[in-house]
Amino acid sequence: MALSIREVDAKRLLGEYSSPAVSIHADTDCDKLPSSAPWLLSSKLVVKPDVLLKRRGKSGLVKLNCTWQEAKDFVAKHLDTQLTIEGLTGVMSHFIVEPFFPHDDKTNEMYIAIRTLREGDEILFSHTGGIHVGDVESHATRVTVPIDETGKIPAIDFGHMFEKVQCAQTKAALPKFVQGLYTKFCEMHFAFLEINPFSYDHANDKFMVLDSAAKLDHTAEFLVADKWGHIDFPSPFGRVFSKEEQYIRDLDAKTGASLKLTVLNPKGRVWTMVAGGGASVVYADTICDFGMAHELANYGEYSGAPSEVTTYEYAKTLLSLICKEGTYREEGKLLLIGGGIANFTSVADTFKGIIRALKEYANRLREFKVRIYVRRGGPLYQEGLALMRKVGEDTGLPIKVYGPETYITAIVPIALADDGGAVAKELEKHEKLPRGRTWHETKMEEVEQDPAFQQLDLHSTQDGNATAAGAATGANGNGTAQPKAKVLFTPQTRCFVWGLQERAVQEMLDFDHVCGRKQPSVAAIIYEFSVSHLRPFYFGTDEIFIPVVQTLKEACDKFPEVDTMVNFASMRSADKATKTSMDFEQIKTIAIIAEGVPERRTRQLNEMARKKGVTIIGPATVGGIKSGAFRIGNTGGRLENIMNSKLYRPGHVAFVTKSGGMLNEMNNILSLVSDGCYEGVAIGGDRFPGTDMMEHIMRYEADPNVRMIVVLGEVGGTIEYDVGRAIKEKRITKPVVAWCVGTCAPMFSTEVSFGHAGAWAGSDSEQATSKNAFLKECGAYVPNGFQEMGVKIHEVYEMLIDTGALRPVKEPEIPRIPMDYAWAKKLGLVRKPKGFVSTISDDRGEELVYAGWPISKVMQTSMGVGGVIALLWFKRPLPDFAYRYLEFVLMLTADHGPAVCGAHNTIVTARAGKDLICSLISGLCTIGDRFGGACDQAGCQYMKAHYDLKQTPEEFVNHMKTSNQLIMGIGHKIKSVHNPDMRVQLLKKFCKQHFTKKPLIEFAEGVESVTTKKKDTLILNVDGLIGASMVDLLFHCGCFSEQEARDFIANGCINGLFVLGRSIGFIGHYLDQKRLKQGLYRHDVDDIAYVLPNLVKE
């Protein structure tokens, strides 16, 4: 999307082709600026506002030929002051200061602009500039620089562009300057650059850029971020973002989804929360069509499968605006939660986020008398709508809920009609809109008894077989022969899918099955990050395996008949994958799904495709669908929507749109008001899609199976004029129903960024209203608004039937659909025993959960590692001292030097060249009864003696002696009563300070007093103290029953502490050996006693 930048940034990006400049705003320390820009003190200066404001000179806002002090005084006077100009009021928040260049404004001011077009970059030049430039569009000389598909910047053929320049020196210097300027334009991914005026400095033989305005293609940021540096994309003058709007902008930048919010009238009654870029414009149009433009409070949209949390944040922000102090309306407010039929976004998941926000704001919404109307369709829409109904019941909020059986914008007149009075009577007719039943509700007998359907061949509308009515005549019944159609998809079309998109592939295979295809449409998946293998999918009820390959060459070698590529590569690599695809002659159609592909790269792909005869659909598209034949990826949505819209068999209406969401909606509308979709393509919302609307419309014109064409255009661009002219010139003879959305745009007092990159009007002719009027004048069937789109399509469809140009065919039997287990489970139709059970953590939601605690809550408390152990091992929080105790034990047991067997094994394995995991396991395998396991056994021995046998320490020692058993946790090779182990002293001190009861520690001390009488090294060692103290913690911290404590001990939790702690040391030894680059270990033979049998003697 092209976004405006400040003049200071534009000049900085132009580098040597512009003069230096500095920016001043509220945070600028003007006294320090000269140290980095010494020319401020040595040059005469120009200072002017840098707030995307035109005609600054005429408004007295430019200070010329001034000193640095005068410039500072000028800025100080005007900085952060409000200015009203041409009806817009804005704040002068930024100023630009640059060197002043004295010149003759009548003879030495020129104009130049460079802008991106579909076919190339257009350069406009005028030998007069500044205030004398006039209507530059009418008199400027133009050169279009064609796109080089390799990305090289071509030399410009200027022709006679500079012939009116009078000065010979200037004329001679212009080609080099403009070529350099154009190179910067390309390298920096400008979308628009206007310099008015620029002048020639004869003394220094260079050009001076005086005033400039520019837009950058912000999708190219990942390519040139280092060249751009920090770029500010300010709002238009007079349009200051509220904190809520800025929050949504920031949220949009942090998520892969698309989020938009523009507040139009903070006190307005009608608020919208619409899913989908195209649908959001349609809702705004419809509200304005009903005369409520002055009450429309906002424009906004959310799309691209936002998460539940993201949707919650978006909804919460919008609700805070609806319920903002000072905006109360006695007659109440309306909130329209609308959208088309989603292709892949889970309606239930996004609604859960909205519902969280509705519950949070329920009281305020009731106070503000807000009525809520919901209309949505798509994956899991039934669950989502049910949740919406329930939240209305639970909170008392007035919520009306509608599904895809209701026309997309019907909730607008329904909501307005609920206001009552004269308005209600006027809007009653709009509530009676076409509605349909889901395929579950339709019986075959009803279809067969419908007199509108004739008993014809079920396959009469398949490719190459015109219906009986269409075989004898042209599409309009006039006998005109149709040109041969370029067919993109047939029931035999097979494709490659670039990217491991398992869900999309499965949905394509499900579509294949219900269409009766004998062979899956997906031949192979290209995934560069995996070795070639087979991956299982379902084709109907059968499990099949689809090859996953690393290279497209491997796929083409295996499947030479495949001619279509569905490219799911990301915006960063989509162009590379597309270019690779075009290197193979068999690939003739490519769908690019990714949004955010830089415009220059897209145009290079388009040029390459044109030369190679490849059809590109996209970028920024969901794709397209040919009923009964082939679908691209997720187009058409879930299988239920495929069935509801009857996409399993072809109809007679073909359509083209920009919006992916509206493609699904059009499928739904066509199934209600005609015999359904024959083919539908979403060309994508970017400014320069691979194929434009005309290319697809002319395909439909040439296809004998298409009886009528539907076009859904939008504000911005001029392609709809080409459609109108083609109708007028009879190049399009089939009836065309057309509508351009975005008629609301001129009614807004501020510039609105609609959902699609190409949805903005650069001139009056690009406004939707102008295009609709032209299409109607040329003979297209144009409704009065999108609200009447379905009615208009139905009228034309009935006209075709009445004239005999179209004869409906018998509906085929509704295919039997195998239900996915996950979907059936969601609907409560099946149950299945679980493979295993987990009660300690859950990663299914938006946030990881430990034993019921969201990870955010865990991190916000002072639980530390000890707290995480408590949640994951014991499934409950413990007292704070218990967390510190657990961490204390981990620190004490982390290591005991390299000589112990576990560390020794780890070191030997590391020196054998094994990796960290193998080395760690080698050490851990030594832990047992003789090493480390003493913690666990000591705790169990002491617990049994004290609690079960009720023994005194003396009785316990004697019992163990008579039983010939070792007492675990007693004894040390080095330490003694006189040389105590510091680890034992530290742990014992901690326990005595923090434990409320410590009977087993005291018991262990009693055992020590008995054993040390025999030998002073038979002390309580760290293993024994850990075992005893851990039993005391579990028995007496107040969080466990005695049985729970015994179970945890029996299951080895004490030993677990030693394993966890000692792993830290083992990893340390591994890293130490690798850091020292120690070689293979071989034990010294002098340290080995070789004792072998004497075979000679024997």
Token duo for residue 843: 């990663």
Give the separation between CA 210 and CA 110, rounded to whole angstroms.
10
Share of the chain above pLDDT 70, in %: 92
Dump the DSSP string for 944-967: IIIIIS---HHHHHHHHHHTT---
Q: What local confidence, expressed as pLDDT, does residue 759 receive?
A: 44
Q: What local confidence, expressed as pLDDT, does residue 485 receive?
A: 61
The model's pLDDT over 398-415, given as tens digits with 9 standing for 90+, comes to 999 999 889 999 999 999
- CB 996, CB 885: distance < 8 Å: no
The model's pLDDT over 886-931, given as tens digits with 9 standing for 90+, comes to 999 999 999 999 999 999 999 999 999 999 999 999 999 998 877 8
The model's pLDDT over 863-890, given as tens digits with 9 standing for 90+, comes to 999 999 999 999 999 999 999 999 999 9
Q: What letter does residue 294 receive in the DSSP assignment?
A: G
Q: What local confidence, expressed as pLDDT, does residue 821 receive?
A: 75
Give the separation between CA 715 and CA 289, rounded to whole angstroms.
16
Q: How confident is the model at residue 428 (pLDDT cuts 50, 70, 90)?
A: low
Mean pLDDT for all residues in the chain: 89
Give the separation between CA 693 and CA 116, rounded to whole angstroms.
19
The model's pLDDT over 530-589, given as tens digits with 9 standing for 90+, comes to 899 999 999 998 999 999 999 999 999 999 999 999 999 999 999 999 999 999 999 999
449, 450, 455, 461 alpha-carbon torsion, rounded to 10°: -140
Q: What local confidence, expressed as pLDDT, does residue 752 receive?
A: 64
319-350-441 Cα angle (round to 5): 120
Q: Which residue has the higher pLDDT, 745 or 1042?
A: 1042
The model's pLDDT over 300-348, given as tens digits with 9 standing for 90+, comes to 999 888 888 999 999 999 999 999 999 999 999 999 999 988 887 889 8
Q: What letter does residue 410 receive in the DSSP assignment?
A: T
The model's pLDDT over 585-644, given as tens digits with 9 standing for 90+, comes to 999 999 999 989 999 999 999 999 999 999 999 999 999 999 999 999 999 888 888 998
- CB 1012, CB 1018: distance < 8 Å: yes
What sign results for the dihedral spanned by CA atoms 960, 966, 969, 970? Answer: positive
Q: Averaged over 114-124, what is the pLDDT?
A: 94
Counting every residue written for the chain, the total comes to 1098
Q: Is 696 a catalytic residue?
A: no
Instruction: Say what the pTM is.
Output: 0.76
Q: Which residue has the higher pLDDT, 968 or 685?
A: 968
pLDDT surpassing 60 at residue 782: yes
Q: Averaged over 486-508, what is the pLDDT?
A: 95
Q: What local confidence, expressed as pLDDT, does residue 660 receive?
A: 80
Q: Which residue has the higher pLDDT, 83 or 486?
A: 83
Q: Averaged over 704-724, what is the pLDDT?
A: 92
Give the separation between CA 410 and CA 672, rounded to whole angstroms.
14
The model's pLDDT over 792-844, given as tens digits with 9 standing for 90+, comes to 999 999 999 999 999 877 788 877 777 777 767 766 777 777 788 899 999 98
Give the separation between CA 12 and CA 21, rounded to whole angstroms.
7
Token duo for residue 1086: 């002098």
Q: What local confidence, expressed as pLDDT, does residue 962 receive?
A: 93
- Helices and strands (H and E) in the chain: how many: 40, 35
432-433-436 Cα angle (round to 5): 120
What are phi and psi for residue 841, nearest 5 degrees? -150, 160
Q: Is 405 helix (H, G, I), strand (E, B) or coil?
A: coil
Nearest Cα residue to 308 out of 258, 336, 346: 346
pLDDT surpassing 90 at residue 760: no
Q: Averaged over 75-95, what is the pLDDT?
A: 89
Q: How confident is the model at residue 763 (pLDDT cuts 50, 70, 90)?
A: low
Antiparallel, parallel or unpaired: β 564-567 and 589-592? parallel
How large is the greatest C-alpha to C-alpha distance in the chain, in angstroms? 124
Q: What local confidence, expressed as pLDDT, does residue 475 receive?
A: 38
Q: Which of 756, 946, 972, 1069 is catalytic?
A: 756
